[in-house]
Amino acid sequence: MSSYTVRDWVTIGLFGALWGAVEMTLGSYLHVIFPPQANTFLTGVVMGGIGVAVALTGRHFVPNRGSVFFIGVVTALVKLLSPGGARLGPFVAILVESALMEAILWLARAPRRWAFVVGGALAVGWNLPHKFVMMRVLYGGDVVQVYTKMLQEGSRMLGLDPSAALLILAVLLTIRLAVGGVAGWGAWGLGGAVARRLGRREPAPGEVVR
């Protein structure tokens, strides 16, 4: 914590506020624009990918351990101010997503493209099990109902028979992992380039500077 400067905290606040603002605006519009069967899947994937891109881009500007998680904390707090009211589900989801990204970055110990890709993939991928965890642990709901609803929605969107349950879940998870990975890749490339131009980050070992 002592390695953080005032400028670092301000930067963390800015990226957290940006992610939070997107959650409050675009997230709300997506729930209104798209039909119920696409809400659970499409909105979570889109918002997760954007969140990953914002948080990991912020890591370039504050390359300290814990910075991505703190960006997530700011975002989660901003999300509580959403016009739709304070909801525990999105709050927990954002914290877990940022914690997963931070954990992978911690394991990498130095800026690495693979860490951004894997961290982003896990963060967006969490959107799938999150629904079961929240329903069971926090609300004491029936996990089977969540499972059934997810299969029905997935069956309609993918055009697959509901009996192909494992295939449907595998496809839904793969799409989430792919979107998160692409978002992490983009944050590494674009965010890194901008940060270097502004003198906020040195090229990582083996990184090609253009």
The pTM is what?
Answer: 0.84
- CATH 2.60.40 at 6-197, yes or no: no
Cα dihedral: 21, 24, 29, 35 (round 10): 130
Q: Taking the domains of the chain in order of start, what are their residue ranges? A: 6-197
Query: Confidence band (pLDDT; 50, 70, 90) for 30?
Result: confident
pLDDT tens, position by position, 52-94: 999 999 999 998 999 999 999 999 999 888 766 567 778 888 9
Which segment of 68-72, 100-104, 191-195 scores lowest on mean pLDDT?
A: 191-195
